Amino acid sequence: MDKVATQVSPQDGRALRQALGRFATGVTVITTGADTGPLGITANSFASVSLDPPLVLWAPAKSSSRFKPFTECDNFAIHVAADDQVALADTFVKEGDAFDKLDWWRHDDGTPLIEDCLARFHCTTETIHDAGDHVIVIGRVLSAVHRDGAPLIFAGGKYGQFTRLD
């Protein structure tokens, strides 16, 4: 099979998005407490930054209707979705206040914490950096929990599952 690469101009947003979609990511749901109640958003822009101090990042779009509460909050949580949690991920793509469908609780600082995710990182906002049409939110991890299971994967605009090659 020939592997022909397609040249992409960085100015061609659609083609650039298709090229970026070749990189598989995990799927997360970020939550915070807002004036209107608990708020969530699905994001695949999550990465670890540092173990000492414990820092993670995610990058919300400035065009999101949920941008302001997530960039003005003191605390938030990042929930890593398991491969059987497509419905969870889909819910927070479409709406931010769908907590009535979930098993969750509110931390003492007001952060909504969703149960039964593959991993959860409860964070305080460390710093925010401008990044084009997004910002990069750096969070200091206050606590983390995890369980066994396989992650939900996102690539090429579609969800998938992790397959081991060993």
Q: Place 2 in a pLDDT band, splitting at 50, 70 and 90.
A: low
Q: What is the pLDDT of residue 102?
A: 93
CA–CA separation, 57 and 123 (whole Å): 10
CA–CA separation, 65 and 29 (whole Å): 16
Class of the CATH domain delimited by 24-155: mainly beta
Give 93's contacts (C-beta < 8 A, 6+ positions apart): 42
- Has residue 99 got a pLDDT over 80? yes
Higher pLDDT, 33 or 164: 33
Q: What is the mean pLDDT of residues 14-39?
A: 88
- Has residue 119 got a pLDDT over 90? yes
CA–chain centroid gap for 48, Å, is: 12
- Has residue 1 got a pLDDT over 70? no
Characterize the bridge pairing of strands 54-58 and 134-146: antiparallel
What DSSP character marks residue 156?
A: T
pTM of the predicted model over 0.75: yes
The closest of 138, 162, 165, 163 to 151, measured between CA atoms, is 162
Domain residue ranges in the chain: 24-155
CB 150 within 8 A of CB 83: yes
